[in-house]
């Protein structure tokens, strides 16, 4: 397996190379580039399996890799290395792009590499990068990338009716795609959507889109009926808070 490190800082490249050599035995060849264009040339000539790509570089940002590589060449996985803000991290997560925060930690590196090796050639890297670039350019999140068996589904937030815990998986009910079973626990989506006020967690097993509440039923201790006719439990400690929230919703 070959890895390419693209970073304008020599020290950062050296540190990452040492971490890979010490912790990622499946990677037996490491090559480097100090800017995006040199990195693109190495991608075309060396066909690496994994590209560690810094975002903040002089002349060209790592996000501009889409401008120099045809989608047919995207048979590798990208792991961004960044010291970016929380906003950028949310962009990575919503686009299902792997990233490592600088300074890079060993356990996070191993997890990212293991995941990348598992999905090489199957994760639609070019589509995820298009969505990520769009988020940065427009400064707006309006979609989430969901890993499904065929690849990646990009879903607008307004398409999501509700999310339901199913062990270490989550069932996502949507308006146009039916029900999707995603190999992420509900807490992953609770964290990811915590800054989007239309999503509310009335119970440990549910996260709902307040736009799609059909009614609140008082009997049987009280529960929510969604537009897709699914019943959603409300925990006792959330009932008063929930009623206060829905009383403020527009009719």
pLDDT tens-digit series, residues 215-237: 988 888 789 999 999 999 999 88
98: tokens are: 């792997």
Report how far residue 187's alpha carbon sits from residue 204's, in angstroms, rounded to the nearest whole number. Answer: 9
Between 138 and 20, residue with greater pLDDT: 20
Instruction: Please write the tens of the pLDDT for every residue from 120-148.
Output: 766 677 777 877 777 666 666 778 888 77
Concatenating the DSSP letter of every residue in the chain gives: -EEEEE-S-HHHHHHHHHHHHHH-TT--EEEEESSHHHHHHHHHHH--SEEEEES--SSS-GGGGGGTS-GGG--SEEEEEE---HHHHHHHHHTT-EEEESSPPHHHHHHHHHHHHHHTTTS-HHHHHHHHHHHHHHT---EEEEEETTEEEEEEGGGEEEEEEETTEEEEEESSS-EEEESS-HHHHHHHTTT-TTEEEEETTEEEEGGGEEEEE-STT-EEEETTS-EEE--HHHHHHHHHHHHTS--
Tokens of 228: 């897709």
Sign of torsion over alpha carbons 199, 101, 165, 150: positive
Say what the pLDDT of residue 56 is. Answer: 82
Query: Which value, in Å, is the radius of gyration of the alpha carbons in the chain?
Result: 21
| Token pair recorded at residue 42 | 């190495």
Mean pLDDT of 59-69: 84
Q: Is the pLDDT of residue 173 over 80?
A: yes
**Is the distance from CB of 119 to CB of 75 less than 8 angstroms?**
no
Rounded average pLDDT over 89-111: 84
What residues does 179 pair with on adjacent strands?
A: 173
Which is higher by pLDDT, 143 or 213? 213
Q: Which residue has the higher pLDDT, 226 or 83?
A: 226
């Amino acid at each position: 397996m070959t890895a390419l490190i693209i970073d304008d800082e020599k020290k950062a490249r050296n540190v990452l190379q040492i971490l890979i050599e010490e912790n990622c035995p499946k990677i037996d060849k490491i090559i480097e580039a100090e800017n995006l264009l040199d990195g693109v040339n190495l991608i075309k000539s060396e066909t690496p399996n994994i590209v560690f790509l810094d975002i903040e570089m002089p002349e060209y940002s790592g996000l501009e890799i889409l401008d120099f590589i045809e989608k047919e060449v995207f048979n590798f996985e990208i792991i961004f290395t960044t010291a970016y803000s929380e906003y950028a991290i949310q962009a990575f997560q919503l686009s299902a792009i792997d990233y490592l925060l600088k300074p890079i930690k060993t356990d996070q590196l191993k997890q990212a590499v293991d995941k990348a090796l598992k999905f090489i050639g199957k994760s639609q890297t070019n589509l995820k990068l298009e969505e990520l670039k769009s988020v940065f350019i427009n400064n707006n999140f309006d979609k989430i990338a969901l890993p499904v068996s065929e690849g990646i589904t990009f879903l607008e937030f307004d398409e999501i009716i509700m999310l339901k815990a199913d062990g270490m998986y989550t069932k996502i009910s949507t308006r146009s795609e039916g029900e999707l079973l995603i190999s992420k626990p509900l807490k992953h989506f609770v964290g990811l959507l915590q800054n989007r006020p239309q999503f509310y967690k009335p119970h440990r097993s549910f996260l709902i889109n307040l736009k799609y509440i059909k009614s609140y039923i008082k009997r049987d201790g009280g529960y929510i009926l969604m537009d897709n006719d699914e019943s959603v439990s409300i925990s006792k400690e959330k009932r008063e808070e929930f009623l206060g929230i829905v009383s403020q919703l527009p009719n």
